[in-house]
Chain A
Amino acid sequence: MRWLQDPILDVQHLTMRFGGLVAVNDLSFQAGRGDITALIGPNGAGKTTVFNCITGFYKPTEGMIALRKPDGSHLLLERLPGFDINWRAKVARTFQNIRLFSGMTVLENLLVAQHNPLMIASGFTFLGVLGLGGYRRAEKEAIEKAKFWLEKTRLIDRADDPAGDLPYGDQRRLEIARAMCTDPLLLCLDEPAAGLNPRESLELNHLLLSIRKDHGTSILLIEHDMSVVMEISDHVVVLDYGTKISDGTPSEVRNDPKVIAAYLGVADEEEVQQVVAEIGA
């Protein structure tokens, strides 16, 4: 249970209500440092809402979301303004329906991701506009970093193409590359494998594993594709109707009757047993 000993993200009693609708109900879970944590559940279970709370797009109705830095200090994400969640807490995310800057080139997309360090290098524009300071060098370094991620995501040949021109799979990878350009501690991926073919999905697995291994970035992902979830994740949290119904390693979760019931849509405890018996779990 590494995620309990050294969590990077600690979500406590998170509740999100929209009017009368309770999208997330008293959810608590941890994501371990260096882990790939998967958040799964049937459609409408509230997974994306959890993401939006973590990344600051929604203010949770109740609860606490703490990000623990490597030095042991922690930041309460629900109290930070939206943009600081990326800049100060180092949490990056991608979106379920891809949000690239489609009219800008692939390279520009990756430079926008390095906005804050570049902004400082350009003396908050004042020095940059006069051509003073070390902006030129900083930009060169930023381009190097962008190149690194473009090579890693095999997009280097398309660096000067507008992002909107890329095929779907490439756009997904570009979004991950863009998020990685912000040097995140925690990378939140909202259905990264959606719409990918099996080969691309396999490639994604390798990319995610390498991000974790080579960069020490912890990953939290929402995914429907069980081949991705079961293969690469160290820890799975299952949501249904906004509440957590299971939490553990992939094999524990796979065998949890409640999870099977939620996915197959059975309500009765007896029926669950029956289903479990039938599928021989």
Chain B
Amino acid sequence: MNAPSITTTAPTDAVTRRFDLAAALKDSGKSALITLGLAIPILSYRTEQSGADLFLSQRWGLVAIMCALVFGLRLFLHAFTATKAYRQATPSAHQATEPVHAEPSAFQHVSKFAIPFFLGIALAFPFLIVMIQGGLGESRYWIDLGVLILTYVMLGWGLNIVVGLAGLLDLGYVAFYAVGAYSYALLSTTFGLSFWICLPLAGILAAMWGIILGFPVLRLRGDYLAIVTLAFGEIIRLVLINWVDLTNGGAGISSIPRATFFGIPFTNDEGGFANLFGLEFHTMHRGIFLYYLILGLALLTNFVTMRLRKLPVGRAWEALREDEIACRSLGINTTNTKLTAFALGAMFGGFAGSFFAVRQGFVSPESFNFLESAIILAIVVLGGMGSQIGVAIAAIVLVGGPEILRNLTFLQAVFGAGFDPNEYRLLLFGIGMVAMMVWRPRGLISEREPSVILKERKAISGSLVKEGHG
């Protein structure tokens, strides 16, 4: 974060550029100085509480390390780009001024073999993990992680309908996730309904809320729509906190009935799952069931989306993203079309929400803050708007990536025992979001697949695809 990105300050006379040590040193020094400026006082002093008073402790060593780090990194970047530029002879002037339009095609043709591959991995994942880890208990962490990633894949696919296909920027998607989770929690705790009845109900309720919230806001355009949806997301969260009679406030709703295998509970007794299927009882049976449940839900989302893309409504969504005015001139009822996208996205959010509730057995407003919406949106945008496989990859990167931090405990040897890499999870997540946008503003897979072909299939370059204005 403290290192200015190289693309912004690359000298424009790239043709004759060689490694100019003096200039590089000067620039790196400047960057280090800026880092120093940014580090004062927020990094150099730490406020500590003792009793009622605050006092300051100094950490100039840390600042020095940061500045040195930035200096070194910057110098390295200079050297690296200089040699790269030297190798590449003459990069076009266009690249120098507008680096963002460069579209390398490393990921573009990934989808052909990747879809069966990913599907196979996803289906076999629990067995692979159990085999690798050598037991059900040992693979708990990995299966939980798989469930977590798949939840975000599903949310990403749901939001992709709204943002990626219809081009409507929704920053409050988590509201529908919350509606789904709370619907499930309330329906199952008050009326004792089973998961398979609650699931569609939760989805329908979320879709209904999608329509209620969507109807007034869908004539807004661009960032305004984003902000209103954000406001709605926050309103729903605040209502969940404050409407204690219904939602039990910030304490949340607990003791939500656990998932059952189509009515057969995962218990260690007579009618239990293990007993019935002649297996030895293990708590991970439920975990694996949940894994396949969310995988099924995610694949359902994917299937419906892929199907809709080839139907008139899906084409109308994409046309809406491209040009709303032209849509209206062609007789498309733009309000209804937007509403269907909003409602459908909300419905899948609701499904994911009720899955969340049944998995956790507990819901509280804390789980549905703005950060969740931001993560889901980041997954969609990073994936490449509209690309299903891109969204799945992005979910793995963004949700799975930070998990690596958990395993970096060896860093404690470097930074001392008090060092917890997990603290830096969100910090690095933020940096990652910025870096990924600078690196690939159109996401990992920006090409668009046509929904219908006459003779031959040609992918459509991302630079032609519009991002919508709503």
Residue ranges of A at the interface with B (Cβ–Cβ < 8 Å): 55-57, 81-87, 92-93, 95, 99-105, 107-108, 111-116, 118-119, 122, 125, 128-129, 135, 139, 143, 147, 159-162, 164-165, 178-179, 182
Nearest chain A residue, comparing its CB with the CB of B326: A99
Instruction: A20 to B63: give the CA distance in the assembly, Å.
Output: 62
Given contact pairs A92-B329, A99-B325, A160-B456, A105 touches B316 in the complex (Cβ within 8 A): no
B329 touches A104 (CB 8 A): no
A100 touches B323 (CB 8 A): yes
A-B pairs with beta carbons under 8 A, tally: 137
* Known A100-B322, A101-B322, A102-B323; 16 more pairs at CB < 8 Å: A57-B325, A82-B328, A83-B328, A83-B334, A92-B330, A101-B323, A103-B465, A104-B448, A108-B450, A112-B327, A115-B315, A115-B316, A122-B313, A125-B340, A159-B454, A165-B464
**CB 8 Å contact bits of B89-107 with A (1 = contact, 0 = none):** 0000000000000000000
B170 at the interface (CB under 8 A from A): no
Given contact pairs A107-B452, A129-B308, A93 touches B322 in the complex (Cβ within 8 A): no
B453 touches A112 (CB 8 A): no
> Closest Cβ of chain A: how far from B466's Cβ, in Å?
6
**Chain B residues in 8 Å Cβ range of A100:** 322-323, 326
**CB 8 Å contact bits of B299-313 with A (1 = contact, 0 = none):** 000001001100111
The 3 closest A-B pairs by CB, nearest first: A103-B465, A86-B331, A87-B331
**Chain A residues in 8 Å Cβ range of B316:** 112, 115, 119
Instruction: A100 to B229: give the CA distance in the assembly, Å.
Output: 29
B367 at the interface (CB under 8 A from A): no
**Chain B residues in 8 Å Cβ range of A111:** 312, 315, 452
**Chain A residues in 8 Å Cβ range of B450:** 104-105, 107-108, 160
A84 touches B319 (CB 8 A): no
B39 at the interface (CB under 8 A from A): no
**Chain B residues in 8 Å Cβ range of A82:** 328-329
Which one, B312, B330, B340, contacts A122 given CB within 8 A?
B312
B451 at the interface (CB under 8 A from A): yes
Nearest chain A residue, comparing its CB with the CB of B459: A162
Nearest chain A residue, comparing its CB with the CB of B336: A83
**Chain B residues in 8 Å Cβ range of A93:** 329
A147 touches B312 (CB 8 A): no
Which one, B311, B452, B458, B460, contacts A103 given CB within 8 A?
B460
Nearest chain B residue, comparing its CB with the CB of A138: B312
Most chain A Cβ neighbours within 10 Å, of B323, B456, B461: B323
B87 at the interface (CB under 8 A from A): no
Instruction: A116 to B331: give the CA distance in the assembly, Å.
Output: 7
A83 touches B332 (CB 8 A): yes
A103 touches B464 (CB 8 A): yes
Nearest chain B residue, comparing its CB with the CB of A82: B328
B112 at the interface (CB under 8 A from A): no
**Chain B residues in 8 Å Cβ range of A85:** 331
Nearest chain B residue, comparing its CB with the CB of A109: B319
Most chain B Cβ neighbours within 10 Å, of A92, A135, A147, A162: A162
Nearest chain B residue, comparing its CB with the CB of A94: B329
**Chain A residues in 8 Å Cβ range of B304:** 129
Given contact pairs A93-B329, A112-B330, A119 touches B312 in the complex (Cβ within 8 A): yes
B460 touches A105 (CB 8 A): yes
Which one, A104, A107, A143, A165, contacts B319 given CB within 8 A?
A104
A118 touches B312 (CB 8 A): yes
Nearest chain B residue, comparing its CB with the CB of A117: B312
Instruction: A13 to B136: give the CA distance in the assembly, Å.
Output: 81
Nearest chain A residue, comparing its CB with the CB of B462: A103
Nearest chain A residue, comparing its CB with the CB of B337: A115
Instruction: A143 to B450: give the CA distance in the assembly, Å.
Output: 14
B412 at the interface (CB under 8 A from A): no
A107 touches B312 (CB 8 A): no
Instruction: A147 to B453: give the CA distance in the assembly, Å.
Output: 12
> Closest Cβ of chain B: how far from A39's Cβ, in Å?
17
Instruction: A4 to B322: give the CA distance in the assembly, Å.
Output: 40
A160 touches B323 (CB 8 A): no
**Chain B residues in 8 Å Cβ range of A125:** 308, 311-313, 340
Nearest chain A residue, comparing its CB with the CB of B340: A125
Instruction: A143 to B315: give the CA distance in the assembly, Å.
Output: 14
A83 touches B454 (CB 8 A): no
Which one, A135, A147, A160, contacts B458 given CB within 8 A?
A160
B331 touches A182 (CB 8 A): yes
**Chain B residues in 8 Å Cβ range of A112:** 315-316, 319, 327, 330, 332
**CB 8 Å contact bits of B403-427 with A (1 = contact, 0 = none):** 0000000000000000000000000
B322 touches A119 (CB 8 A): no
B268 at the interface (CB under 8 A from A): no
Given contact pairs A99-B323, A104-B319, A162-B461, A113 touches B454 in the complex (Cβ within 8 A): no
A-contacting residues, B135-155, CB 8 Å: none
Which one, B307, B323, B326, B452, contacts A108 given CB within 8 A?
B452
Given contact pairs A128-B311, A143-B452, A160-B458, A104 touches B331 in the complex (Cβ within 8 A): no
Instruction: A114 to B319: give the CA distance in the assembly, Å.
Output: 12
Instruction: A95 to B326: give the CA distance in the assembly, Å.
Output: 8
Given contact pairs A101-B326, A108-B452, A111-B452, A164 touches B464 in the complex (Cβ within 8 A): yes
What are 22 A-B residue pairs whose CB atoms fall within 8 Å in the complex? A83-B333, A85-B331, A92-B329, A99-B323, A99-B326, A100-B323, A101-B322, A102-B465, A103-B322, A104-B319, A104-B448, A104-B450, A107-B452, A108-B450, A115-B316, A115-B331, A119-B316, A128-B307, A129-B304, A143-B454, A159-B454, A160-B456
